[in-house]
A and B are shown apart, each in its own frame.
Chain A
Amino acid sequence: MDFDRLLFFWGHHFVLLGVTVSLALSLNLINGFCGLFSLGHQGFWGVGAYMTAVLLTVLPSGEAGLFLFALSFPLSMFAAALCGLFVGVPCLRLRGDYLAIATLGFGEILRNVAINSSFLGTSQGLSVPNVIRTTLEQTFGLNRLDARRGEMIFYMLLSAGVAALTLLILRNLMRSAHGRAITAIRDDETAAELLGVNLTRYKVLVFVLGAALAGLAGAVYANYQRYVSPNQFGFMQGVTILVIVVMGGMGSFTGTIVAGVLIYALPVLLSFAPGTWQVPVFYDPTQGGDGWVHRSPKDLWQVFFSILLIVVVLLRPQGIMGTREFSLAALFRRKPPAPPKEAGA
């Protein structure tokens, strides 16, 4: 019994953390490694989630349920990648702030399309059938509780697997000549182009790949939550992902993972604060008593979030990891010798 409570509580957060980290990793490719400032990542995530929802609700499931479930992942990636292409090709003529505004607009347009189309369930959203639990109950004949346990463990593995796959794809990409071209674009676009980097090709590649991976995270999310609605993919969700990328370090995958865990865990851990803990928040003499209004730390996670962000920005403006990657091997390696100064220079 106690085991079940632990499993369902922490399992739930583990799955959502995996989705958040996957999203932040793919956004780091676009914003951190290529230096394209996108604010529309939640849009690609939403496209993937909605694609999954539509696929699993519109088509008759039943026997084909598991097949459709498996199909939802590549199809969501494809749908999001297609959106990435449609948005990327015209928008990548824009730079800096203008690109940020255009991608922000794209995210809001998608959300409004979902709100206003009855096919996508308007603001009510769409429910997604629980393929995994149905399969476990009907095909494997598990009882209800075992099926729920099995489902949670399955999604924990799936979410971790998708995050690991995203990390592997992005790491392998960045450790290749293609990845060097992408970093070169961020550091000096003109110099990169003169060294033979096709700017359009790589920017579109980064956008499309980032969108596809966000779509994959969206498929995991929709299948797990079994419900999609426009407000799950709003601007604030996009900002949270962006904050993870900035805080972890633009150009560091391991930094993104560290910051993702920190930012995801903060409200969860604060929710454990005992009800007797009260923090004085502001002074209002009309309220009686000593005039101080108290709040529980549970309700203050956004304040802690802001403080954390300010501390990181003040102490490490380049993010927790900067552009470095954490590796066990590097911990045991000695520091390289300082560069010898050139004579006469």
Chain B
Amino acid sequence: MSEGARVDRGDAVLSARGVSRCFGGLTAVCDFDLDLFAGEIVGLIGPNGAGKTTVFNLLTGVYEPTRGNISVRGCDIGRMKPDGIAGLGVARTFQNIRLFRDMTVLENVKVGCQPRKRQSLLGALVRSKHFRAEEAAFEREALELLEMMGLSEVRGVQAGALAYGQQRRLEIARALAGRPKILLLDEPAAGANERESADLQALIREIRARFDLTILVIEHDMPFVMGLVARLLVLDHGETIACGTPEEVRAHPKVIEAYLGQEAAK
């Protein structure tokens, strides 16, 4: 691991040690190590089928690791279910968008408030004062998030009817509604043109600062990810083949061979 990329900034908010995941005879992720420090943006790149989304699924509890440990803010999440991990402050978006298509845009964001809800069932049934206050707060915050994502205009529209780029931004808004500490973005710039990905870069920096986030991002769009992150991990066939600053990674022979091709090496 490169020295430049591993400056000690106190305890990691998320760390994975020797994490592997096998499906039958196939090892999708092998001996994966990661430390995320508070406030940084880290990229995860690699060719198709390298195991990037599997890493996200391991970090969010969709899969249990076959071997290894993952801890989030000091808490071992090895046997925790996804909802418990979401409660620890981990939120994500999906490569293949998974919005609640029949709900409105606003309702989608409000579903994202789940990890923070404190209202009791009885309180909801009798519309208690605390319940009404919490619902009003969720509504207000959801509207603020939509404003920030530029989705205020379409808040009453069914999520499935939105344009592709809007759906991606809505997924981010929904993830942010739970006030996470760690945000995992799975190809946020997929399908975006040059101007849109520049806007998205600015947006991701803005939400990191505003919500005090640590971000791990999977991305295929090289200029996008190189311009956004402080350091990068490169996966190929489930193994971490390189790790370091964008410049270091770009120059790494294994990366050039596996992923970037000859042109990027120039």
Please report A residues at the B interface, Cβ cutoff 8 Å: 169, 172-173, 176-181, 183-184, 187-188, 190-199, 205, 323, 336, 339-342, 344-345
Contact = CB atoms under 8 A, between A and B. Distances in A.
| A interface, over-half SS | helix
Residue of A190, A193, A341 ringed by the most chain B CB atoms within 10 A: A193
A342 B125 contact: no
B103 interface: yes
Given A177-B138, A196-B86, A344-B195, A187 B102 contact: yes
A336 B161 CA distance: 14
A180 B121 contact: no
Contacts of A169: 125
Contacts, number: 112
Interface string B93-104: 010001111110
A196 B114 contact: yes
Contacts of A323: 102
Q: Which 7 A-B pairs have the closest CB atoms?
A: A196-B86, A176-B124, A196-B115, A345-B163, A342-B163, A196-B114, A187-B100
Contacts of A197: 83, 111, 114
A181 B114 CA distance: 7
Contact of A180 (B60, B81, B107, B161): B107
Contacts of A176: 119, 124, 131, 135
B83 A187 contact: no
Given A176-B119, A178-B117, A191-B98, 20 more contacts: A172-B127, A173-B124, A177-B117, A177-B134, A177-B138, A178-B119, A184-B114, A191-B99, A193-B82, A193-B86, A194-B82, A194-B86, A195-B174, A195-B175, A196-B83, A336-B157, A339-B154, A339-B162, A342-B165, A344-B193
Contacts of B175: 195
Contacts of A341: 163
Given A169-B125, A177-B134, A339-B161, A344 B111 contact: no
Interface of B: 60-62, 81-83, 86-87, 91-92, 94, 98-103, 107, 110-115, 117, 119, 121, 124-127, 131, 134-135, 138, 153-154, 156-157, 161-166, 174-175, 178, 193, 195-196
Contacts of B82: 190, 193-194
A169 to B, nearest CB: 6
18 contacts: A176-B124, A180-B110, A181-B111, A183-B103, A183-B107, A187-B101, A187-B102, A187-B103, A190-B62, A193-B86, A194-B82, A194-B83, A196-B115, A197-B114, A205-B121, A336-B157, A340-B154, A344-B196
Given A194-B62, A198-B83, A339-B162, A177 B101 contact: no
A339 B153 contact: yes
B126 to A, nearest CB: 8
B124 A172 contact: yes
Contacts of B113: 177
A336 B100 contact: no
A186 to B, nearest CB: 9
B84 to A, nearest CB: 8
A173 B124 CA distance: 6
Contact of A173 (B60, B117, B125, B134): B125
Nearest to B101: A187
Nearest to A209: B121
A89 B125 CA distance: 24
B45 to A, nearest CB: 22
